């Protein structure tokens, strides 16, 4: 690679070696038109000097930085000032910060700070002292998102970060503090829909997590005190069974102390008892949450009044009344799509072996994961980002679908399928998502792929299928209207497992456009011309899928799966005919690849020689093409 690459625009390299001496980008490499550089576990030689020749960079990601490739904040900032088009910056330090040979190497420059005029997103993963020194040396007038993960720390010093957030203009009026298996997360922004700051602290014991969150919120000072609406929640999954009995209520009181401006407090169901006890013990004073006006809990109102009676009564006596409200789950969401998402998430974990932590469900019940069209598209990119051979992805959608006029000629019926409202996706190596589209208005008589809230099949194929490398697996399910070819896969099958003739007049063109060497299978409840069907227990396809998988167990083939789905509809009187499609012609008598792990002796389900084999054998490897073609994903937020 010690050459000039004048046409190279995207360079993404990943090293999985565990050796301390990591790989280094060749010193003589030149790519003057590079606009996207992503290095994971691979260093830059010559003190980051390579960046001085890449003035067109808009995305720079240097992650999993090892000891041999380490650079100090000042070195990085010096190079960043020569990148006038930089919009996204990601830095990840994989080691505890080494002691500087010179004290000035870590100290931030006094003034002037370096202005990064176009930077919109800053992501950091590492030790707090590195982060604090980095942000002390930069100004980012257009910064819209700050994603931080702090490692290796038991005490936090974030004075410079607080000033950085303040001068950047982040108006953090709404905040959420959440505790889960992996640590503590703090999210803040202008509103529930506009998160600006996401900060996660990796730690183990729950007491350590609460203490870390308390330290961070206290260190953020001005940011915490400006918050007017606060949510506290805890995910009990992965927590010790007796976690509620091991905590001192003082921990929760100390966590609340920095939030002196909070007017509305939302308490998750898991923390109701803990917070009621903590607030009860400070009921006589105003040191904790002195401006509180409304308290919302996920508890029946009678139980809520009893649990918080002392606190509510004391505030009433002090002339600071607090209005108590309760919030329960929405039970009548359209088509039960929210229940479908959670039901499928549970089935994927208990029956197919996806780890609970790898499953993420997003619904409009969670204000921090509001599923707009932009988030849907970003979530799809994140789902398959950095896909590797043998990875398994599972994507589930439950909701509404519509048809629009086909614009590129790939649909035989001249109509493109659009899916919206509720999705659930799962990834075997760490990420999963579920989305309810909330920005579809539905009053456009002639919707197009640019209509807000609509995600067209062409776009879904481009994002979910095209980037996948050879032998990567994706299973997609669409429990929605007009979903027969929702993923735009070229091969459809009948109940006997035989591939149907391709109806498109230009078969070779279609295969070149839509066939893939990855193993992609789509299941849908209906033909493109049909609507979906809802049962009183959720989407009909979900119910049929769960029953069929449980019935056949480890002997389930693709033919048996399709027959099982259709038999379920017939037995229950549902006038729908589920569809099976694939990215290449498959042998439907082979065991269905649904789980995240596949036996090493499992045959790859490719059918006998077809026209697609000629195309795929002459085409470039999809893994090479996708690595250079796809942009960095807009990851879904927690």
* DSSP class per residue in 474-511: EEEEEESTT-TTTT--SEEB-TTSPBPPP--S-HHHHH
C-alpha distances (whole Å) from 532 to each of 528, 547, 589 are 10, 18, 27
Cα–Cα distance for residue pair 344/330, rounded to 1 Å: 18
pLDDT of residue 451: 62
Q: What share of the chain is helix, strand, coil (3-state, %, to 5)?
A: 30, 25, 45
- Residue 278 backbone dihedrals phi, psi, to 5 degrees: -65, -45
Q: What is the DSSP string of 378-447?
A: HHHHHHHTT--TT-EEEEEEESEEEEEE-SSS-STTSEEEEEES-EEEEETTS-EEEE---------SS-
pLDDT of residue 531: 40
pLDDT of residue 214: 94
pLDDT of residue 141: 93
pLDDT in tens, 234-273: 887 777 777 777 788 889 999 999 999 999 999 988 888 8
pLDDT of residue 338: 73
Structure tokens at 1: 């690679």
Nearest to 397 by CA among 415, 370, 418, 381: 418
- Annotated active-site residue in 481, 482, 519, 584: 481
Residue 368 DSSP symbol: G
pLDDT of residue 332: 39
pLDDT of residue 613: 44
Residue 402, beta-bridge partner list: 418
pLDDT of residue 421: 30
- Residue linked to tokens 């003589």: 28
Contacts of 104 (CB under 8 A, 6+ apart): 74
Q: pLDDT under 50 in the chain at which residues? A: 101-104, 109, 329-335, 402-436, 440-447, 482, 528-537, 607-638
Determine contact, residues 389/469, Cβ cutoff 8 Å.
yes
* C-alpha angle 384-390-392 in degrees, rounded to nearest 5: 50
Cα–Cα distance for residue pair 540/532, rounded to 1 Å: 8
For residue 386, the tally of other CB atoms under 10 A from its CB is: 15
- Residue 554 backbone dihedrals phi, psi, to 5 degrees: -75, -5
Structure tokens at 397: 């959608």
Determine contact, residues 405/456, Cβ cutoff 8 Å.
no
Contacts of 51 (CB under 8 A, 6+ apart): 44, 57, 60, 79, 80, 82, 83
Q: Is 400 a catalytic residue?
A: yes
- Annotated active-site residue in 40, 64, 266, 400: 400
For residue 98, the tally of other CB atoms under 10 A from its CB is: 12
pLDDT of residue 91: 95
Cα–Cα distance for residue pair 211/35, rounded to 1 Å: 41
pLDDT of residue 48: 81
- Residue linked to tokens 């870390």: 212
H/E stretch holding 513:
helix 507-514
Nearest to 499 by CA among 586, 571, 574: 586
Determine contact, residues 84/117, Cβ cutoff 8 Å.
yes
b/e for 50-86, b at 16 or more Cβ within 10 A?
bbeebebbbbbbbbbbbeebebbbbebbbbbeebeeb
Q: Is 602 a catalytic residue?
A: no
pLDDT of residue 526: 66
């Amino acid at each position: 690679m010690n050459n000039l690459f004048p046409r190279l625009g995207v360079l993404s390299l990943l090293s999985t070696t565990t050796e301390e001496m990591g790989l280094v980008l060749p010193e003589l490499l030149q790519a003057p038109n590079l606009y996207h550089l992503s290095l994971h576990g691979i260093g830059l030689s010559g003190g980051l000097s390579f960046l001085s020749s890449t003035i067109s960079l808009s995305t720079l990601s240097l992650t999993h930085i090892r000891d041999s490739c380490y650079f100090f904040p000042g070195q990085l900032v010096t190079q960043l000032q020569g990148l006038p088009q930089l919009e996204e910056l990601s830095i990840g330090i994989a080691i505890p910060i080494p002691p500087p040979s010179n004290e000035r190497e870590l100290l931030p420059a006094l003034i002037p700070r370096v202005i990064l005029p176009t930077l919109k997103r800053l992501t950091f993963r590492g030790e707090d002292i590195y982060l604090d020194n980095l942000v002390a040396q930069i100004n980012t007038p257009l910064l819209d998102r700050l994603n931080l993960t702090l490692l290796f720390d038991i005490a936090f010093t974030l004075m410079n970060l607080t000033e950085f957030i303040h001068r950047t203009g982040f108006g953090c009026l709404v905040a959420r503090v959440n505790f889960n298996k992996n640590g503590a997360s703090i999210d803040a922004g202008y509103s529930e829909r506009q998160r600006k700051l996401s900060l996660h602290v990796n730690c183990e014991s729950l007491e350590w997590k609460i203490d870390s969150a308390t330290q961070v919120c206290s260190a953020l000072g001005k940011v915490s005190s400006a918050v007017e609406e606060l949510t506290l929640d805890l995910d009990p999954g992965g927590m010790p069974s007796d976690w509620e009995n091991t905590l001192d209520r003082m921990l929760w009181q100390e966590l609340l102390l920095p939030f002196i401006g909070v007017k509305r407090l939302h308490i998750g169901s898991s923390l109701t008892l803990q917070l009621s006890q903590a607030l009860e013990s400070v009921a006589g004073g105003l040191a904790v949450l002195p401006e509180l006006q409304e308290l919302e809990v996920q508890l029946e109102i009678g139980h809520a009044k009893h649990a918080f009676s002392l606190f509510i009564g004391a505030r009433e006596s002090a002339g600071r009344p607090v209005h108590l409200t309760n919030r329960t789950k929405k039970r009548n969401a359209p088509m039960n799509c929210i229940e479908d998402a959670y039901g499928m998430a549970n089935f994927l974990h208990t029956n197919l072996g996806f780890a609970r932590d790898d499953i993420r469900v997003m619904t409009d019940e969670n204000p921090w994961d509001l599923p707009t069209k932009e988030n849907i598209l970003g979530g799809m990119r994140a789902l398959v980002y950095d896909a590797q051979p043998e990875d398994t992805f599972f994507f589930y959608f439950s909701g509404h679908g519509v048809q629009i006029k086909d614009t590129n000629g790939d649909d035989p019926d001249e109509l493109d399928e659009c899916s919206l409202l509720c999705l659930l996706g799962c990834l075997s190596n760490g990420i999963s998502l579920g989305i309810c589209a909330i920005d579809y208005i539905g009053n456009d008589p002639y919707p197009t792929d640019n209509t807000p809230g609509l995600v067209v099949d062409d776009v879904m194929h481009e994002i979910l299928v095209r980037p996948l490398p050879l032998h990567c697996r994706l299973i997609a399910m669409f429990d929605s209207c007009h979903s027969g070819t929702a993923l735009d896969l070229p091969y459809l099958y009948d109940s006997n497992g035989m591939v149907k003739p391709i109806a498109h007049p230009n078969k070779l063109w279609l295969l070149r456009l839509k066939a893939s060497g990855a193993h992609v299978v789509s299941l849908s409840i209906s033909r493109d011309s049909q609507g979906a069907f809802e049962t009183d227990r959720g989407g009909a396809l979900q119910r049929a899928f769960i029953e069929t998988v449980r019935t056949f167990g480890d002997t389930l083939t693709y033919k048996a799966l399709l027959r099982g789905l259709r038999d379920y509809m017939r037995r229950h009187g549902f006038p729908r005919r589920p569809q099976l499609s694939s990215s290449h012609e498959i042998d439907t008598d082979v065991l269905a690849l649904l789980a995240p792990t596949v036996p090493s002796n499992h045959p790859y389900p490719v059918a006998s020689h077809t026209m697609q084999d000629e195309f795929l054998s002459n085409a470039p490897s999809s893994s090479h093409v996708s690595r250079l073609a796809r942009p960095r994903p807009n990851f879904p937020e927690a």
